[in-house]
Amino acid sequence: MAKKVILHVGAPKTGTSFVQDLLFSERLALAARGILYPADRFDAHFLAALDLMQLPWGGIEREATGAWDRLAEKARAWPGTVVISHEILATASRVQVARALESLGGEVHIVYSARDLVRQLPAEWQENVKHRREATYASFLDDLQDPERASELARWFWGVQEVPDVLDRWGSTLPKENIHLITVPPPGAPRDLLWHRFAQVLDLDPEEYAREEGRTNASLGVAEVAVLRQLNEKICDFVPNYHYRALVRESLVHQNLSQNRGSAALSVPPDVWTWADQISRSWVAELALRGYDVVGDLDDLLPRPPSEFVDPDNPPAEDLARAGLRALTAMTIEAARLRDETVELHEEIDRLHGEIRSAHATRFYVAKQHLVAKARTSPVAARGLAAYRRWRA
């Protein structure tokens, strides 16, 4: 049985991809030190999370059958420390948490990384848009402010982002010292500070695993995300998810629009800032009473003073046009590349057809063809063909 299981359960948009990428790429070195990251890809625990939470995910759940049990089995079999990380685990219900903890055995530590709400709101909307959603920013914010959380969107957001609730669901049966709340530093903090905080919880020397750049989720500006949302409105009825993933999310967003962001950063309108500030203060006051191991500073969870708000539902026309042109350019270049690929494939098909034709042009092959055709009408030829086939067999 593993001596210690470190279960990193979220939240989304708090550097989780960076941590998972680092744990994955260093997994052999970590294993040599007794720390297991049981994964065959950086986000391998996603499927386990889908299985644990019985969460359909656009067809990907087909690959998740039994994934949690397999992961838990690996964790139980490891004699040292095991690290499991996926941000969607944050929304697990108490029954699912109980099952997870029971299946893992050992001394379980819950790690939850949190970032201030004013940065999480636009980040989550942007993530929604990158996943084919068409909701405007205004309607997204309205949904989240609905006290009844009636929309699916609100249920999901608060399920993964409401810090005191997530930690209560995951930690209510564990000792307080086993609950580690990592706060994401405010803007302007040293780039490696967040990694230092994670490393502290994982009991690693941060310098030993330091790196300049890690996997991060692409971030878009106001105009770019506005273009993408409007594009979703136009194409989502026609473009299946597998094409969307490759063409839009990967090619357009990750490889183009998120490089050299050309417009203002997403933020929140003043009234939403005030609302989010109140919620954040109530969270910080509650968390201060809980006695968790806070890595960082609870004040990191309080929003910074509001910045200028540019409405992504009505971005400046010039910015929108520029972002639209960038998108058109990127997609035209991608279309040309795909056409090149098509032409090459046709050339390959022609070459193979040629080889087949050459093989069929021999006298022997022509004679065989003649015999097969004759055998359809002539009993003598049919008997000859049958004899030939018996001889060949």
Partner 1 sequence: MSAATGTHDALVRAWAADLRAGSAQRWADFRVGARPASPSSGDGPVPSAAQLELVRRLDKDLPSFGRLADLVLATAGPGRGLVDVPLPGGPPGFGTPPVEPDALPADELVRIACGVLVTLLIRDVPAAAAPPRFAWRPWRRGVTVLGAPMTAAVLRDELRSRGIRDGGRSPTCLVLGGPLDRLMAERWSARVAAGGGMRWQRLWESAMAQDRLPPGIQLGTIAARLSEQFGAANVHVILAEDPRAAVALAGEILGLDLPPAVPRPGSGLLATDLLRVLNPLLVLNVGEDGRDLLADQVWPGLAGVESDLALAPPPGKVGWAQTTAERVAADLRAGDYAVHGDPGTVVPVRRAGARSKVDPEAVLEFALGVLGRSWVRDLARSARPDTPPRRPTERQG
Residues within the interface to partner 1 (CB under 8 A): 50-51, 53-56, 59, 61-62, 64-66, 69, 91, 93-99, 147-150, 152, 155-156, 158-159, 162, 164-165, 168-169, 172, 237-238, 283, 286
For residue 79, the minimal CB distance to partner 1 (Å) is 24
> H helices within the chain, ranges in order?
16-25, 27-32, 45-53, 67-77, 94-104, 117-130, 137-145, 152-161, 163-171, 193-202, 222-235, 241-243, 270-290, 317-360, 363-375, 379-392
CA distance 115 to 10: 10
Q: Is 93 or 332 the residue whose CB approaches partner 1 more closely? A: 93
Q: Is 6 or 160 the residue whose CB approaches partner 1 more closely? A: 160
Q: Is 160 or 252 the residue whose CB approaches partner 1 more closely? A: 160
Q: Is 261 or 290 the residue whose CB approaches partner 1 more closely? A: 290
CA distance 340 to 350: 15
For residue 128, the minimal CB distance to partner 1 (Å) is 13
For residue 93, the minimal CB distance to partner 1 (Å) is 5
Least Cα distance to 44 among 27, 61, 20 occurs for 20
Cα dihedral 225/46/215/197 (nearest 10): 110
For residue 309, the minimal CB distance to partner 1 (Å) is 27
Torsion sign across C-alpha atoms 22, 25, 31, 36: positive
For residue 94, the minimal CB distance to partner 1 (Å) is 4
CA distance 158 to 154: 6
Q: Is 156 or 309 the residue whose CB approaches partner 1 more closely? A: 156
Q: Is 155 or 211 the residue whose CB approaches partner 1 more closely? A: 155
Q: Is 248 or 330 the residue whose CB approaches partner 1 more closely? A: 248
For residue 138, the minimal CB distance to partner 1 (Å) is 22
**Kind and range of the H or E run holding 219:** none
For residue 162, the minimal CB distance to partner 1 (Å) is 6
Residue pair 328/252 in contact (Cβ under 8 Å)? The answer is no
Cβ neighbours of residue 295 closer than 8 Å, sequence gap 6 or more: 180, 181, 182, 183, 197, 200, 201
Q: Is 148 or 308 the residue whose CB approaches partner 1 more closely? A: 148
CA distance 127 to 229: 11
For residue 239, the minimal CB distance to partner 1 (Å) is 11
